[in-house]
A and B are shown apart, each in its own frame.
Chain A
Amino acid sequence: NAGVTQTPKFRILKIGQSMTLQCAQDMNHNYMYWYRQDPGMGLKLIYYSVGAGITDKGEVPNGYNVSRSTTEDFPLRLELAAPSQTSVYFCAAGYSGNTIYFGEGSWLTVV
């Protein structure tokens, strides 16, 4: 996967805790996305950004926040973690809307 790095790869959170999933890209791409993927399901868009300083909600934004202070970084913040947020999270980046590349994923379990 071209130049999209996600950390951490695995994390266990207790209900009510908060954390930030980090996403960095080294391709100078404008577009960045956060998705979640539940078992056997497709990807659901949480938030996306078309450039530094610009973010917008996707299909399932509740319980999450993002910021885009630089082109390279697009962190996803989980506030007051709930079991429903147990999922695999993917960050993606692209130069245009049609060539978008994904990171390897972050596996999150809320117990």
Chain B
Amino acid sequence: QKEVEQDPGPLSVPEGAIVSLNCTYSNSAFQYFMWYRQYSRKGPELLMYTYSSGNKEDGRFTAQVDKSSKYISLFIRDSQPSDSATYLCAMVGGAQKLVFGQGTRLTINP
């Protein structure tokens, strides 16, 4: 079983829709939870990070963590074509190893 599971998609939604991206994990030692955005042929870009259960909001993005269910989500409101990218969840445990999900390829259609 992979430590972090993420549906690779692809996911295609119309402009303005609310997007929900999700990951599950199996390692209870994970302490920090991150979301990265990666455009084609570019390095991953850190979007948000959280370390406790609950919600964290930053503009149109909301990160949600449920440690009891080992489930994290990223919501994108009022999605824009410029949000089209691959979104990767990532987690860090006690050994400071950053472990990634497979990534979900998202397309926002104008």
In the complex, what distance in Å separates the CA atom of A4 from the CA atom of B101? 22
Number of residues on chain A facing chain B (CB within 8 A): 26
Which of A40, A92, A104 touches B98 (beta carbons < 8 Å)? A92
In the complex, what distance in Å separates the CA atom of A5 from the CA atom of B34? 22
- How far apart are B41's CB and chain A's nearest CB, in angstroms? 8
Query: Does B45 contact A45, Cβ atoms closer than 8 Å?
Result: no
How many Cβ-Cβ contacts under 8 Å join chain A to chain B? 57
Q: Indicate whether B102 reaches chain A with its CB closer than 8 angstroms.
A: yes
Number of residues on chain B facing chain A (CB within 8 A): 25
Specify which chain A residues have a CB less than 8 angstroms from the CB of B92 in the assembled complex: 97-98
Residues of A at the B interface (CB closer than 8 Å) are 1, 4, 31, 33, 35, 40-45, 48, 50, 56, 58, 90, 92, 97-105
- A35-B100, A42-B6, A42-B103 are known contacts; what are 6 more A-B pairs with Cβ within 8 Å? A44-B100, A58-B97, A97-B32, A98-B51, A101-B46, A105-B41
